[in-house]
A and B are shown apart, each in its own frame.
Chain A
Amino acid sequence: MGSGGSLLSFIVRRLIITIPLLLLISFGVFSLVLILPGNPALLLAGGIHSTPAEVAKITVQLHLNEPFWRQYLRWLNGIIHGNLGRSLFNGNPTVASGIAERFPVTLFLAIGGMILSILIGIPAGIIAGVRAGSASDRLVTVGSSLGVAIPDFWLALLLVIVFAVDTHVLPALGYVEWGTSPWGWFQHLLLPWLALGLGGSATIARQVRGALIDTLDQDYMRTAVAKGLSPRRVIGKHALKNALSPAVTVIGIQFGYLLGGTIIIEQIFSLPGIGEYILTAISVKDLPVIQGVVLVTATAFVLINLFVDVIYGYLNPKVRLG
């Protein structure tokens, strides 16, 4: 049988799977051009009001006169060299620079929201799971049921109303660079973080609670007690590692929702992230920008999940064999 499945070979296997996945994603992103109704060049140039010269210019810029496969390979080649193409508007800045400028804001927002949801969700889930049936469990259960159901943008609106419109405790709009004022940065991001993180924490809490209750019912927990371990060790060591591994997967998936959610949240709080970038691009059908942003967010999501998988593999030795 051998020892089977070291963590390292598991990570390498995961990396190997990730490469074709990213290729598939890039192909999907590029195929977005196919779902544009009618002649894409005409549409992108502004529809029936566009001049033939504009249409021709776009056809050339996007190589729309070439076969689809050639277009894709050319685009892919560009991406590998860090070139995401150029915007069709506003003096044609490169998409890469547009994203580089805005992505940090989005990433701060998403990661902060994620951290917040973990910080709230895991302890709440543990408290509820360990004391299943108690008053604190009921509180967490009710709270998380509401938290899962509440639309994050509505929560954002309520937060704006309470903290910014009615009481002026926190700024409602805008963004301050970390370099300019760390405190200002924090203040401007706090409400967005809350809006994003509370919903996520509800999902995580439910997952942790359920997994913990299942784990406490396992035979090996009885073994742990029979060994004469202290309650703290029984739960802290033997239950948690097993109970948290399914939660980790949920956290990975949750990150995808967070990344998507940032688009609306950025809109509400007027944060200069990629949400604003893609919404503007969508309104004018700036295809290269749309493709670039979708590709970058999907890649970020894949990489985060790769990281999550590695943690999962650490927590759950069995999956390393898979």
Chain B
Amino acid sequence: MSLIRPPWNDDPLDELAAPAAAVGDVSEEGGAARPRSGFWHRFLHQPFALGGLAFLLLVIVAAIFAPLIAPYPPNLQNLNLVNAGPSAAHWLGTDDLGRDILSRLIWGGQISMRAAFEIVGLATVVALPVGLVAGFFRGAVDTVIMRLMDAMFSFPPLVLALTVAALLGASVNDTAIAISIVFVPSFVRVLRGQVIAVREENYIEAARSLGATSNRLIRRHIVPNVASPLIIQTSLALGFALLVEAGLSFLGIGEQPPTPSWGSMLNEGYSFIFSSSWALIFPGLAIMLSVLSFNLVADGLRDSLGRERPRKSKLAGVTKEKKSRLAQLRGISPRAAEPAPVAAVEGTTLLAVKNLRVEFLTNGKWLPVMEGANFSVERGKTLGLVGESGSGKTVSALAIMGLLPARGCRTGGSALFEGRDLMRIAPAAFRHLRGNEISMIFQEPMTSLNPAYTVGNQIAEQVRTHRHLSKADSWKVAVEMLERVDIPHAATRARDYPHAFSGGMRQRVMIAMALSCSPKLLIADEPTTALDVTTQAQIVALLHSLQREENMAMIFVTHDLGVIADVADDVAVMYAGQIVERGAGAALFTRPRHPYSEALLNSIPQLTPPGEPLHYIPGMVPRPDQFPRGCRFHPRCSYATEACITTPVELRPPAHIEGNGALSATSPSGEGDDGAGADHRATVTLSRCVRQDELTLAGARAMADVPTPAAPGSTQGTPLLVVRGLSKQFPLRSGLLQRVSGSVNAVDGVDLSIDAGTTLGLVGESGSGKSTLARLVVRLIEPTAGTVVLDGTDITALRGPKLRRERQGMQMVFQDPYSSLDPRQNILEIVGEPLRIHTDLNRAQRQQRVIELLDQVGIGSHVLGRQPHEFSGGQRQRLAIARAMALQPSLLVCDEPVSALDVSTQSQVINLLSDLQDRLGLAYLFIAHDLSVVRHLSDRIAVMYLGQIVEEGDANDVYTRPTHPYTAALLSAIPVPDPSRQRARQRIVLRGEVEMSQSAAGGCRFRPRCPFAMDICRTVDPPPYTTPSGTIVRCHLHTTGPELAGASVSGLELAAPTE
């Protein structure tokens, strides 16, 4: 499964990433078409590569026209003029037989270059099919081919070439054959690796599910996408071939004199080395410069090809500057290293940030990404920083920690931490604070730990650095810390490397490390964004309890208001490099004072009743070079007036408070706030809105928990998709020989049915088997058992052309919009591909149909010639939907189609899907890990756990009256964007993770994590039970034990933990 990087900051600089390459989101369609900077444009801007290319062209042209260009025949001897230096008649002098060196070089170029091209050409002709077959079909063929290549690769290249050449004979063609053998294995390896990488991409799966044949897949998708690395490899190989050929001719193997090659010229010169070394210089130079040129061209190609698909689009200038993190690593920063002014420690305030300013150098200009931020953090309290991507929240956190790259980035203002200004502190003193008094955890637990050291080592290292303990003692602390973050078997797990931990467990390790020196302040930068909801709930609960124990303060950066409601005492809402609202957490949710805060609250899906379109904020956060004048939010604000457009707005308290002078001591005017609002924090909310006093903004609306009546008619329809007993086993390998030692039931006897025109939502944690189920349904992978019946046709046993024809009825939309569109094709080709495969439409008709399809998903027809990299994530998902709709399928399988998108974009895509369903009567199998999103779109919901559907029923029933403890746990893990309710409700925080329970053989598979587990659950796999309301549930609670008999499990008192 591919690791999805959500578009919100996975990197400090991504905060800026309103995708630079994107055309602007749909609502702002028609963004200026910028000139396409294609391959040639980039290549022509590389002087070295161009120089190399020019030299090679010169040599090749000269060699081809040698008879015309060379001043003398190659072997014309002039024994009166041997070993002469340069002269007008002989520009490069003559050799020991009085032959003109320049002429011989030109003629020699013919032999040497021809040999190089022949060698590489031959190797490519052999390696291309072999590598494609090995990489595409894998399996036994691949194994045999690769073992053979390994064996060929085990011969030292020159020895192999020499031997084969010598045994074959001695003409230039035979030598080329011999040398090309040396190149085949490395070509095959590179090609196979590329093919495998491309094969993993979703666009290959997408094309297969469209009904493309293997032949078409290889020709249209694989070959174009592996072409670039192959071209680069070819250029490098040409240089190397030149070297090997020269070596062999130097040894006298291969083409023999009188026709000179550069290598044999060296051979001749070598015999006269003690009398004259002149003749040795130029052939060697010619070889070296040619090889160098081939390498430079290869470097240039590498930089110009394959860049059309930036996964993380960044502002170009910043990326460039970011390359050297050295200065940052050394703790050197562009800030003046003045002694920190000693200020009085103010009461309970731990950190006071004043006028924080961060600027990035972009295309030669300093652009502010955070301006004049003021906030403070109280001891033991939590400050939440919220906002969309690009708001500046992560950048602020990194600035405080001194972790911004030193180059291309500058900061201003102050951050007083117990009287020391972190913006001016000396590097050595800062090192003493970092990891010791201030710690930080990051968004990406998968990449934030060093893969080369055990987790124990990494924690102990930090302890040793700051506490000066012995190795053994610091290791003990590391193990204790791992225990404190609830990692089972901490003592043994400490010796494991990060790759042996799941994402949630790695984040625990990060927390253990961050807290190992009992810091006073923890900065948590989106610590749960990359995790499952259930894991998120665990991590948040863990941070909460550790914070209480340690009386530690926290800065919690997140885009998720639900999480903020859970953790934050105070909140600062950020937008486009400014704080737009700051105040107590509770106040934000009950009565937001800035329209942006209101809009953020409104776009939380669970606050919109099912059936209504989801709210979203139109447009995107502007890039720093495009911040609007006046209020920065005005272009997206529904309350904007004339005044908002022209005058910048200040952050200030409401007029009635500002007027009464109660705060004059701390916030006189101007900036209107000093960051140290300890005593009025609970009462006053500051807002950067001109109209804050006249507007009454809505807080988190009354929760839509009330069961809404089931949609009429949704209960009896004609089943479109019927799945019975569907299973998929994957073999498990272990031991020295990687023998198959068992199997995992990724999907285990699943029954499903979807009525025409309805949506079945499928939820579960990662690892539950949802994606496997989706791929089984659309026949991308072969089931181990069971049947799939689509519209009355059993498609389980279909193969070849029949299957490809049936594929028209159902299409798939993938999770990662960055990998599901072929980066080498344009929009017309991508969306039109299904039409090419299945219809006889001509080009014009196809184009007409593609324009209609694009129109249906809200994208204008002017994009036909563009390539996927020019679109934002949300737009790509629309394009993927348009492609899936091309053949008018009756069923769309959507595998987490919105998980990789920002909240606002997510809402737009969901609205589009529900719109299309209303208009076209599509049925959806909609997979997501977010129950509130699923509930919004679904008629029925199925909950999956370890390959089994544990509960399936009407969407409202499942959401409001869950009958399976797992469903209840999933529901209670969703953070509620309302602090008072959030704290009041009873929550089931699951222990452990999905994989951990896999050992439970027999009995209920959820038992190891179930808070209600009984004896019978150990031994008997619960059979399906149908509740009076029609929900099917697999849980003993309904038949034995308390005998809920179909009642909601939520009402059940949590028994004392059984284990």
Give A residues with C-beta under 8 Å from B: 1-4, 9, 12-13, 16, 20-21, 24-25, 28, 32, 35-37, 130-133, 145-146, 148-151, 153-154, 157-158, 160-161, 165, 213, 216-231, 233-235, 237-238, 241-242, 245, 256-261, 263-264, 267-268, 278-279, 282, 285, 290, 293-294, 297-298, 301-302, 305, 315-318, 321
B329, A225: Cβ atoms under 8 Å?
Answer: yes
Q: How far is the CA of A297 from the CA of B449 in the complex (A)?
A: 41
Which B residue's beta carbon lies closest to that of A242? B452
Which A residue's beta carbon lies closest to that of B155? A298
A161, B151: Cβ atoms under 8 Å?
Answer: no
A149-B291 CB under 8 A given contacts A3-B492, A234-B329: yes
A-B contact pairs, 23 of them (CB 8 A): A3-B495, A4-B496, A21-B151, A21-B154, A35-B164, A37-B168, A131-B326, A145-B295, A146-B288, A150-B288, A153-B246, A153-B250, A219-B444, A219-B447, A223-B450, A223-B513, A225-B328, A227-B513, A238-B450, A259-B156, A263-B158, A267-B251, A301-B154
Q: How far is the CA of A267 from the CA of B252 in the complex (A)?
A: 12
Q: How far is the CB of B370 from chain A (nearest CB, A)?
A: 18
Q: How far is the CB of A219 from chain B (nearest CB, A)?
A: 4
B250, A318: Cβ atoms under 8 Å?
Answer: no
Q: How far is the CA of A316 from the CA of B451 in the complex (A)?
A: 8
- B contact residues around A258 at 8 Å (CB): 156
| Interface magnitude class on chain B | 35 or more
A35, B168: Cβ atoms under 8 Å?
Answer: yes
Q: How far is the CA of A268 from the CA of B266 in the complex (A)?
A: 12
B interface SS class: helix
Q: How far is the CB of B295 from chain A (nearest CB, A)?
A: 6
A220, B450: Cβ atoms under 8 Å?
Answer: yes
A294-B736 CB under 8 A given contacts A227-B513, A238-B450: no
Q: Is B194 interfacial (CB-CB < 8 Å)?
A: no
- A contact residues around B155 at 8 Å (CB): 25, 28, 256, 294, 297-298, 301
- B contact residues around A157 at 8 Å (CB): 266, 269-270, 273, 277, 280, 284
Near A by CB (< 8 A), chain B positions 124-168 give 147-148, 150-152, 154-164, 166-168
A285-B288 CB under 8 A given contacts A130-B326, A213-B323, A260-B159: no
Q: Is B961 interfacial (CB-CB < 8 Å)?
A: no
B323, A145: Cβ atoms under 8 Å?
Answer: no
> Which one of B152, B277, B280, B329 contacts A235 once the chains associate, using CB atoms below 8 Å?
B329
- B contact residues around A219 at 8 Å (CB): 11, 442, 444, 447-448
Q: How far is the CA of A24 from the CA of B185 in the complex (A)?
A: 15
> Which one of B166, B288, B736 contacts A12 once the chains associate, using CB atoms below 8 Å?
B736
Q: Is B465 interfacial (CB-CB < 8 Å)?
A: yes
A282, B154: Cβ atoms under 8 Å?
Answer: no
A227, B461: Cβ atoms under 8 Å?
Answer: yes
The 9 A-B pairs of least Cβ separation, nearest first, read: A260-B158, A228-B435, A154-B284, A228-B434, A149-B292, A149-B291, A227-B435, A24-B151, A260-B156
A1-B736 CB under 8 A given contacts A231-B330, A263-B158: no
> Which one of B157, B295, B451 contacts A256 once the chains associate, using CB atoms below 8 Å?
B157
Which B residue's beta carbon lies closest to that of A137? B324
Q: Flag B456-484 by CB within 8 Å of A: 1 or 0 each.
A: 00000110011000000000000000000
Q: How far is the CB of A277 from chain B (nearest CB, A)?
A: 12
- A contact residues around B449 at 8 Å (CB): 220, 223
Q: How far is the CA of A302 from the CA of B155 in the complex (A)?
A: 8
Near A by CB (< 8 A), chain B positions 398-437 give 401, 403, 431-436
> Which one of A20, A261, A268 contacts B270 once the chains associate, using CB atoms below 8 Å?
A268
B331, A231: Cβ atoms under 8 Å?
Answer: yes
Total A-B pairs, Cβ < 8 A: 249
Q: How far is the CA of A126 from the CA of B401 in the complex (A)?
A: 27
Q: Is B243 interfacial (CB-CB < 8 Å)?
A: yes
A interface SS class: helix
A132-B324 CB under 8 A given contacts A153-B250, A317-B497: yes
- B contact residues around A263 at 8 Å (CB): 158-159, 162, 251
Q: Flag B234-251 by CB within 8 Å of A: 1 or 0 each.
A: 000001000100110011
- A contact residues around B431 at 8 Å (CB): 228-230
> Which one of A218, A231, A259 contacts B447 once the chains associate, using CB atoms below 8 Å?
A218
Q: How far is the CB of A203 from chain B (nearest CB, A)?
A: 11
Near A by CB (< 8 A), chain B positions 324-364 give 324-326, 328-331
Which A residue's beta carbon lies closest to that of B289? A149
Q: Is B636 interfacial (CB-CB < 8 Å)?
A: no
Q: How far is the CA of A24 from the CA of B465 in the complex (A)?
A: 52
Q: How far is the CA of A130 from the CA of B325 in the complex (A)?
A: 9
* 4 other A-B residue contacts (CB within 8 Å) besides A153-B247, A226-B439: A130-B326, A151-B284, A256-B156, A321-B499
Q: How far is the CB of A76 from chain B (nearest CB, A)?
A: 15
Q: Is B639 interfacial (CB-CB < 8 Å)?
A: no
Q: How far is the CB of B904 from chain A (nearest CB, A)?
A: 26
Q: How far is the CB of A265 from chain B (nearest CB, A)?
A: 10
- B contact residues around A9 at 8 Å (CB): 736
Q: How far is the CA of A25 from the CA of B149 in the complex (A)?
A: 11
- B contact residues around A321 at 8 Å (CB): 499
Q: Is B831 interfacial (CB-CB < 8 Å)?
A: no
A151-B450 CB under 8 A given contacts A37-B168, A161-B280, A225-B331: no
A242-B330 CB under 8 A given contacts A16-B736, A229-B465, A257-B157: no
Q: Is B541 interfacial (CB-CB < 8 Å)?
A: no
> Which one of A149, A154, A165, A260 contacts B295 once the chains associate, using CB atoms below 8 Å?
A149
